[in-house]
Chain A
Amino acid sequence: MCLALPGKLIEITHGTEGSATGIVNYGGLKKSVDLSFVPEALINQYVLVHAGFAISVLDKDEAQASLDAFRELDEQNNTQ
């Protein structure tokens, strides 16, 4: 039930009282999302979406850092 999916924010529309909605592209499937909880989100960033609300903006550096950690691990294992 707490499932959330990442998608790329491709459109932002600002509404009243700081509210905003956007369009998120999930690998081809595009859906509208409420951006009220991520006012800092920018076009082309990845957001994590749950029940129609974006709840977090992807930190690309952190994503890369975890992937690098796995890759390092991979290389260590291969050279052992």
Chain B
Amino acid sequence: MKYVDEFRDAAAVRHAIDTIAGIATRPWNIMEICGGQTHSIMRHGLHELLPDNIHLLHGPGCPVCVTPAEKIDQAIAIAMQENTVLCSYGDMLRVPGNNRSLLDCKALGADVRVIYSPTEAVDIALSEPEKQIILFAIGFETTAPGNAAAIRKAKLQQVENFSALVCQVTVPAAIDALLGNNDFEIDGFLAAGHVCTIMGFHQYYHLAEKYQVPIVITGFEPLDILAGIEKCVLQLESGQHSVENAYARYVTEQGNQPAQDLLQEVFQLDDQTWRGIGVMPNSGLSLNKSYRYFDAEQRFSTVLGDLDLSMSKPVNEACQSGLVLQGKIKPDECPLFGKQCRPDKPLGATMVSSEGACAAYYRYAAS
């Protein structure tokens, strides 16, 4: 495919690796934020081609992995009601809440439908007016504008039987929290390119300054990732810490204005719990006042009020996905990896989601 294949060219990949090997004189820990990048790194074997002194740490950028179990429990409780349709992105279906997954409850007869685009949920609401339609609105800033567009469409067309169960997370607050926690070292960041197509990268300047780390906006193809690493290493070797854009074909400093305007109209910054990590201040988006009518948590408050969250326990206490998500351990350092825990019987969200680091390691490294 044009503008994909060129960025996978094998000879150019080898030469980019050689260049990085030539400039890296010391060990550096570089974290890629996005699960899509982790997946690409494993799929193309970049971690094995890179010199030994470049350590790639895998970050928390998998929305499916960080959606709290309690949120999934809420989605399940709503989906189990009569005459409701829960619309979800496909990745989310197999992830267990505290007891079961959306797929389990679909097997029990709940109407759970997989959507590709969030506006499909509004269309379903229009064509099935006798039912309540709920959009499970998860994701990072890349997905948030689409979710917002769906919710706005419901408002404009006065779709009364539509609501959204919102669990939106934001990247800069996560970087801030990871760096603020100083029990381990991250020397540089590859920022998630597609989040930046929406948000731009001006919000990273103060983070690069505050923690004196290079932050390089990076794409997803092998050459994009290597270009991001190269820029990061060049900065580290010369003691710099600025924000650089290695994905300029899609990302501008200011980002996508119409999308940001819509986010502003529909959502507000809010504290957010990340599965395996905990609450991070201002790391999520919730519906703002003028859109709260569409909040599924309010609409189904009687159902959700009955949820016994005191019963909640980790799906498997030995699962270390919280540490994996923060780059503190590699998936294959988890004693359960590949043994008790595999994609066909996952114990944690990082093994369930195809973009989770554990799943990426299993799929590409264990084979």
Q: Which residues of A contact B (CB under 8 A)?
A: 1-6, 8, 26-27, 34, 36-39, 46, 48, 50-53, 55-56, 58-60, 62-63, 65-67, 69-71, 73-74, 77
A65, B146: Cβ atoms closer than 8 Å: no
Name the distance in Å between B321's Cβ and chain A's nearest Cβ.
16
A55-B194, A65-B248 are known contacts. Are A36 and B16 too (CB-CB below 8 A)?
Answer: no
Q: How many A-B residue pairs have CB under 8 A?
A: 133
B145, A55: Cβ atoms closer than 8 Å: yes
Name the distance in Å between B232's Cβ and chain A's nearest Cβ.
16
- Bound-state CA distance A59–B355 (Å) is 27
Near A by CB (< 8 A), chain B positions 186-230 give 192, 194-195, 197-198, 220, 223-224, 227
| Residue of A whose beta carbon sits closest to that of B230 | A73
A74, B142: Cβ atoms closer than 8 Å: no
A36, B258: Cβ atoms closer than 8 Å: yes
For the complex of A and B, list the 6 residue pairs with the smallest distance between their C-beta atoms, beginning with the closest.
A52-B117, A63-B249, A2-B142, A27-B1, A62-B248, A56-B197
A55, B198: Cβ atoms closer than 8 Å: yes
Is B49 positioned at the interface, with any CB of A under 8 Å from its CB? Answer: no
Near A by CB (< 8 A), chain B positions 108-165 give 116-120, 138-140, 142-143, 145-146, 149
A51: chain B residues within 8 A (beta carbon): 89, 116-118, 143, 146
Is B348 positioned at the interface, with any CB of A under 8 Å from its CB? Answer: no
A27: chain B residues within 8 A (beta carbon): 1-2
Of A51, A55, A65, A74, most B-chain CB atoms within 10 Å? A51
Near A by CB (< 8 A), chain B positions 1-29 give 1-4, 6-7, 9, 11-12, 15-16, 18-19
A2, B61: Cβ atoms closer than 8 Å: yes
A71, B12: Cβ atoms closer than 8 Å: yes
Name the distance in Å between A66's Cβ and chain B's nearest Cβ.
7
Q: Which residues of B contact A (CB under 8 A)?
A: 1-4, 6-7, 9, 11-12, 15-16, 18-19, 34-36, 61-64, 89, 91, 116-120, 138-140, 142-143, 145-146, 149, 192, 194-195, 197-198, 220, 223-224, 227, 246, 248-251, 256, 258-259, 262, 353, 355
B258, A39: Cβ atoms closer than 8 Å: yes
| Residue of B whose beta carbon sits closest to that of A16 | B156
A52: chain B residues within 8 A (beta carbon): 116-120, 146
A66: chain B residues within 8 A (beta carbon): 7, 223-224, 227, 246, 248-249
* SS class, residues of chain A in contact with chain B: mixed
- Bound-state CA distance A8–B192 (Å) is 23
B138: chain A residues within 8 A (beta carbon): 1
- Bound-state CA distance A52–B220 (Å) is 19
Name the distance in Å between B244's Cβ and chain A's nearest Cβ.
13
Name the distance in Å between A51's Cβ and chain B's nearest Cβ.
5
A1-B62, A1-B91 are known contacts. Are A53 and B12 too (CB-CB below 8 A)?
Answer: no
Contact of A1 among B7, B18, B89, B197 (CB under 8 A): B89
A1-B355, A73-B19, A74-B12 are known contacts. Are A53 and B146 too (CB-CB below 8 A)?
Answer: yes
- Bound-state CA distance A59–B119 (Å) is 27
Contact of B250 among A37, A48, A53, A74 (CB under 8 A): A48
Contact of B34 among A2, A53, A62 (CB under 8 A): A2
B120: chain A residues within 8 A (beta carbon): 52
A58, B3: Cβ atoms closer than 8 Å: yes
B256, A37: Cβ atoms closer than 8 Å: yes
| Residue of B whose beta carbon sits closest to that of A65 | B248
17 A-B residue pairs with Cβ-Cβ distance under 8 Å, sorted by A, are A1-B35, A1-B62, A1-B353, A2-B61, A2-B194, A38-B256, A51-B118, A52-B117, A52-B120, A53-B117, A55-B198, A59-B249, A62-B249, A63-B3, A67-B6, A70-B16, A70-B227
Name the distance in Å between B39's Cβ and chain A's nearest Cβ.
9
A1-B35, A52-B146 are known contacts. Are A6 and B3 too (CB-CB below 8 A)?
Answer: yes
B250: chain A residues within 8 A (beta carbon): 48, 56, 58-59
Contact of A74 among B15, B35, B117, B140 (CB under 8 A): B15
